[in-house]
Structure 1
Amino acid sequence: MIKSKKFNSVVAVVSVCSLFTVGFTSEAANAQPEGRHVADAKENHVIQIKKDTFQAVPDTLMVSTRETVEAEQRRHIEEIRRREQEEKERKEREERERKEREAAQLQSQYQELMASIIFCEAGNQPYEGQVAVGAVIMNRVRSSAYPNSIEAVIYQSGQFGPAGTGWLDRVRSSRGYTSTAMQAAADALAGANPIGGCLYFDQGGYGMKIGAHYFH
């Protein structure tokens, strides 16, 4: 009888403990989801803040970056244009200088040729007479009846004796002309003309007389 009472008491205690355990476990189980919800809510809030910040910052950065890129592109384009302009000006300057050198060289050759024929034809004549011979040559260059270059006029067949005999070439190659003939050639090339439109000169008896020559 006593053993039966003790057994019943143990069963009662175990039952009560089981109830407490079940109740605690149920409460804990009920409380755990609520805690997760709170934690999840906080985490979601933080994530949203980060997301908002992340979205806001890139907008500013994108504007700044775009402006920087555009400024750099403009600078790059301006630099390219500046270099292209400098290159264009350099080429134009070089071309201009080249033409000036060629013109100066050609002018020097013309002057030497003119001085040579003046020396051969009028080296013993007064300075005005030497310039007059050069003026005849220039008049012929401008005339449609004669070739349109100094060399072609001087070397035209049957026109100037020294050109046909070879004397002109010897004087020219040796630079045997005088400084007076060289200056007379320079003046004639520059436009000095004491004879007007005359196309011929000789030692005949008519025309404009300068020294021993008559120009007509």
Structure 2
Amino acid sequence: MIQYKSWVSMAVVATTVTVMTLGVNTQAAEHHTEMMYASDHMEIASFAQLLQDSEKTDEIVMENEYQEAGLLTAEELDKKIAEQKQAEKEAEEKALQEKKEAEEKAQRELEEAQKKEAERIAAEQAEAQRKAEEEAAVAQLQEADKELLASIIFCEAGNQPYEGQVAVGAVIMNRVKSAVYPNSISEVVYQSGQFGPAMTGWLDSVRYSAGYTPSAMQAAIDALSGSNPIGDCLYFDQGGMGYQLGDHYFH
């Protein structure tokens, strides 16, 4: 098509030169020569129009060739750019959403870990408090048992040598360990018909007024700690049989 356009241009130039030559040669000619010039002028106009039409044809052909070759028009290029921008926007939004979800997941995991840690600490504190309360209760019971044992030792053997006082405490501890008697100092001491001071009220008077001597308290501590000078004896009295310590016989 480009080559055809060149041929048309050359034809127009040649025709123009010919017409101009004819015009020069016929200046002195007759009237019919003027008519010939007018006809030639019309031919030039026709060739010019043909040239313009060929240029438009070239543009159309070139556009078709671009499209056939895979090149984009301006409209298609704008559309392609818009699609690319939209894809980039969607990818960015997706990345932001994934980042947000990851951060939220990490926050949930952190909160869950903190919750579990708080629960663990609370459980440990509760267990520690429970043990402390148990130990306090045991200590309180031990203190009460120690005071009760010191009081009954004082009432039964306050005037006896120290070893005799420990022996009275050992009898009570042997009964606590025996399957025949109750398994607590209080129940053994206050068991009906067993110890006179417990039945008369003298024991309670000494106990609540802390009227026992330091020697009786120390004897109680030693008996609670396992000191036992009379073996497995469960009884004592002032009779005439058994192992004697001071005024008491243990059997």
- TM-score normalised by the shorter chain: which range applies? 0.7 to 0.9
Give 1:188's aligned residue.
223
Distance in structure 1 (CA, Å) of the matches to 2:212 and 2:129: 34
Q: How many residues align?
A: 183
Instruction: Answer 1 or 2: higher relative contact order, Cα 8 Å, separation at least 6.
Output: 1
Give 1:60's aligned residue.
95
Larger Rg over CA atoms: 2
1:214 Cα offset (Å): 1.0
Q: Name the aligned partner's letter for residue 113 of structure 2.
A: E
Deviation digits for residues 157-190 of structure 1, max 9, x if unmatched?
Answer: 2211111111111111111001111111111112
DSSP 3-state at the match of 1:104: helix
1:114 Cα offset (Å): 0.5
Which residue, out of 157, 176, 201, partners 2:211? 176
Q: Name the aligned partner's letter for residue 235 of structure 2.
A: Y
1:111 Cα offset (Å): 0.6
Give 2:126's aligned residue.
91
Give 1:9's aligned residue.
none
Give 2:196's aligned residue.
161
Unaligned runs of 5+ in 2: 1-55, 64-71
Q: Percent identity?
A: 53
Query: Does 2:241 correspond to 1:209?
Result: no
Q: Name the aligned partner's letter for residue 71 of structure 1.
A: A
**Superposition map of 1:36-51 within 5 A:** 40-51=75-86
Distance in structure 2 (CA, Å) of the matches to 1:160 and 1:145: 16
Which residue, out of 131, 139, 142, partners 1:104? 139
Query: Does 2:245 correspond to 1:198?
Result: no
Deviation digits for residues 19-69 of structure 1, max 9, x if unmatched?
Answer: xxxxxxxx9xxx9xx9xx955334312311211211322343333333322
Give 1:78's aligned residue.
113
Distance in structure 1 (CA, Å) of the matches to 2:129 and 2:176: 30
Distance in structure 2 (CA, Å) of the matches to 1:45 and 1:148: 95
Greater CA deviation, 76-85 or 61-70? 61-70
RMSD: 2.0
DSSP 3-state at the match of 1:209: strand
DSSP 3-state at the match of 2:212: coil
Distance in structure 2 (CA, Å) of the matches to 1:178 and 1:40: 114
Give 2:185's aligned residue.
150
Displacement over 6 Å in runs of 4+: none
Distance in structure 1 (CA, Å) of the matches to 2:102 and 2:229: 74
Unaligned runs of 5+ in 1: 1-26
DSSP 3-state at the match of 2:249: strand
1:105 Cα offset (Å): 0.8
